[in-house]
Chains A and B, each alone.
Chain A
Amino acid sequence: GQQLNQSPQSMFIQEGEDVSMNCTSSSIFNTWLWYKQDPGEGPVLLIALYKAGELTSNGRLTAQFGITRKDSFLNISASIPSDVGIYFCAGRGNNAGNMLTFGGGTRLMVKP
């Protein structure tokens, strides 16, 4: 089946640093989504991207839908301790309804 390769798997950074993570796919997606999951909770949507080349921001978060439709990245600027968690990319293909394919996740740890 489709696979999303998400990297890095984990990051341990200093508070205030910028963070970058990305996802690549062997298949084309029509929608790219970025979620954050805290312990004991379900994933929460951070940013949704619907068009190739689209660049979207949500506060300190910026994500882009790759021009080939096979990749996406998420940047977090000036990280703070509450950014700690697991970040997932997810893609939705054509005619896939609401079926999402998820990346393996990036575990972010922030040192105050």
Chain B
Amino acid sequence: KAGVTQTPRYLIKTRGQQVTLSCSPISGHRSVSWYQQTPGQGLQFLFEYFSETQRNKGNFPGRFSGRQFSNSRSEMNVSTLELGDSALYLCASSLAALSTDTQYFGPGTRLTVL
């Protein structure tokens, strides 16, 4: 069974641009969560989607948004990029949204903002 895939793996953008990252969960998984990883702040929760509905949202500005499609694939968008948005963006999928469900992480998309 294929794991969580994220595209693209690497991305370079300039300040003010916007970016869209994609995540394909493991087949059959319906919950997708997004995290931002930076050396200074560590791993921080962005948002979680289950059955196309945002279930939880972390403490990030409105420039960060996401959505989930009917096939459970998810995208996140960052508008008006800032230098501080440079990070590894990780997607995790799980079967449902139960507290005992295991979350499987993808390899991440490394975003560099110049």
A residues with a Cβ closer than 8 A to B are 1, 30-31, 35, 40-45, 48, 50, 88, 90, 92, 96-105
C-alpha spacing A100/B33, complex, angstroms: 9
Which of B50, B101, B107 has a CB less than 8 Å from the CB of A42?
B107
Which of B55, B100, B104, B107 has a CB less than 8 Å from the CB of A45?
B104
Q: Is the CB of B92 within 8 A of A98?
A: yes
Main secondary structure of the interface of B (DSSP, over half): strand
Q: A42-B108, A88-B43 are in contact. Are A97 and B90 (CB under 8 A)?
A: no
Total A-B residue contacts, Cβ distance less than 8 Å: 66
B103 cross-chain contacts in A, Cβ below 8 A: 45, 98, 100
Main secondary structure of the interface of A (DSSP, over half): loop
Task: List 15 contacting pairs A-B, 8 Å CB cutoff, sorted by A.
Answer: A1-B59, A42-B106, A43-B90, A45-B102, A45-B104, A92-B99, A97-B50, A98-B50, A98-B101, A98-B103, A99-B33, A100-B33, A101-B45, A102-B35, A103-B42
